[in-house]
Structure 1
Amino acid sequence: MIALGCDHGGYELKQEIIKYLEEHHLPYKDFGCDSTEAVDYPVYARKVGKAIQDGACDKGILICGTGIGISIAANKMKGIRAALCTDCFCAEATREHNDANVLALGGRVVGPGLAVKIVDTFLNTEFSHAERHQKRIDLIEE
């Protein structure tokens, strides 16, 4: 299950990602927001992070205007490794090397076509399980 969350700056891009998830029959839970009316992104980062912490969702996708604020908020939560990605190379690398469990996107930074490709890459790339990468993740968690 994929947890989705956004603020007003990410609402429209979230709608495009929902289309992708539904077309590929990927289960998701939408934690909001539900419009372009101004809201506070930490609220939605917390909802998505909590769903991952509780085990209700395996991965999350967070979107704000730039992806920066919402990723900072998510990374304050224990066990959350949110990566702001602006291209497919970063999405692949963060899954392989960092075992990132949350993808952050900027609704005002990447267009819908690229965003969907980034999401596809993130969701379909496995963690490498290389010893050096696991060691680094363990250091982060300490």
Structure 2
Amino acid sequence: MFINNAATKKPENLLVGSDIVGTELADVLCESLRASFLVTRLPTPADGNYAVIARRLGKSVAEASGIRGLLVCGTGIGVCIAVNRLSGVRAAVCHDIISVRLSVLSNDCQVLCFGSRIIAPYSAIELAREWLSLRFNPAGSNKSAWKVRQIDETGV
């Protein structure tokens, strides 16, 4: 039903961004994931605004194949809403293992969002590792993921 990245031994290209509130958790995620993934930490915008970093990360994800992203703000909600406004990007706020798995397996999620005021660093690291180990399998997915893609492409 899913493809596990660990079996392919291919490093994942990962962008990590945060607003000012999420900086500490984003830095912890980068340090913890660098050994296994190609991590690029995007600088927090000077004004600390979550919409700016969400747009920057989202544009990179939408424009390049094989790049995924982690975004962190206080709740994860603001960055998730902002990045989902961009065409071709699918993001989810996930603070539990089932949501993490289904965000990829059922919904082809490319950006995982965390709330630094909601989740402990250890839990965020474990969930990010799980999320990065999974791949969307079009053959085994439900039709809803394709309907969302169609809406994105046609606007209807």
What TM-score do you get using the length of structure 2 for normalisation? Answer: 0.82
* Cα 1:136–1:17 shift into 2, 3 Å: same
Q: How does 1:19-58 map to 2 (within 5 A)?
A: 19-24=31-36, 26-33=37-44, 39-55=48-64, 58=67
Q: Contact 1:3–1:57 (CA<8 Å) still a contact in 2?
A: no
Q: How does 1:29-108 map to 2 (within 5 A)?
A: 29-33=40-44, 39-55=48-64, 58-108=67-117
Identity of aligned residues (%): 29
Q: Contact 2:106–2:142 (CA<8 Å) still a contact in 1?
A: no
Distance, in Å, in 1 between the alignment partners of 2:30 and 2:42 is 12
Distance, in Å, in 2 between the alignment partners of 1:28 and 1:140 is 31
Q: Is residue 122 of structure 2 the alignment partner of residue 113 of structure 1?
A: yes
Alignment-derived partner of residue 16 in structure 1: 28
Deviation at 1:71, TM superposition (A): 0.5
**Which amino acid in structure 2 is aligned with residue 8 of structure 1?**
I
Number of matched pairs: 139
Q: Which runs of 4+ in 1 moved over 3 A?
A: none
**Which amino acid in structure 2 is aligned with residue 65 of structure 1?**
G
Deviation at 1:140, TM superposition (A): 3.9
Q: Secondary structure at the match of 1:100?
A: coil
**Which amino acid in structure 1 is aligned with residue 83 of structure 2?**
A
Distance, in Å, in 2 between the alignment partners of 1:102 and 1:127 is 13
What TM-score do you get using the length of structure 1 for normalisation? Answer: 0.89
Which structure has the larger Rg over C-alpha atoms? 2
